[in-house]
Amino acid sequence: MKKYFYSDGVNKHGPYSINELRTKKITRETKVWFQGLNDWRPAGTIPELSSLFSFEPPPIPDPEVHFEPTQNFSNQKPPKTWLVESILVTLFCCLPFGIAGIVNASKVESRFYAGDIDAAHRASAEAKKWTMVSLWVGIGVGVLYFFAAFFGALSGF
């Protein structure tokens, strides 16, 4: 039966059987050695010791470590959202197309800060497109309404 030694970084301990090592709370990074091994190696790299680590939880995060985004956005600005414009044309011009503009406008910043810059630009372009469609449809309907009212009034004379 193989006997294992482990090191806590200062002292070596052992020899122990695998079952005895189980009670020693070693980690995958703990250096171990046994007869036939040339040098000390991390316990996680030795196949017969893998059963010691099958239920080891991940390390507890350091509360002093703060999340840092994977990309630095400090020198970049998100693309124009078109949210205010979309809301205004929805209220005053054309409801269905304006809603499509609002939906796309609401995606711009979230995609930008998630790191998907291309999707943020696509959402901005879609928001602009639907806002402009809504504006021009609203203007067109308004002009048609004006002419219909004008000629309707003229025919009454």
pTM of the model: 0.51
The continuous run of DSSP H or E covering 28 comes out as: none
- Over range 123-135, report the average pLDDT: 93
Least confident of 14-18, 58-62, 95-99, 137-141: 58-62
**What average pLDDT score do residues 147-152 get?**
90
Last residue of a domain, one of 14, 31, 53: 53
Query: How would you list the strands of the sheet with 41-42, edge to edge?
Result: 12-16, 4-7, 31-34, 41-42
Q: Say yes or no to pLDDT of 115 above 70.
A: yes
Q: At what angle do helices 95-113 and 83-92 cross, to 10 degrees?
A: 170
Is residue 42 in a domain?
yes
Can you tell me the distance from the alpha carbon of 131 to that of 76, in angstroms, rounded to the nearest whole number? Answer: 24
Predicted pLDDT at 96: 85
> Would you call 29 exposed, middle or buried from its count of C-beta atoms within 10 A (0-12, 13-18, 19+)?
exposed
Segments forming the whole domain that contains residue 9: 4-53
pLDDT at 136 over 70: yes
Same domain, 90 and 48: no
Q: Does residue 74 sit within a domain?
A: no
Mean pLDDT of all residues in 103-130: 92
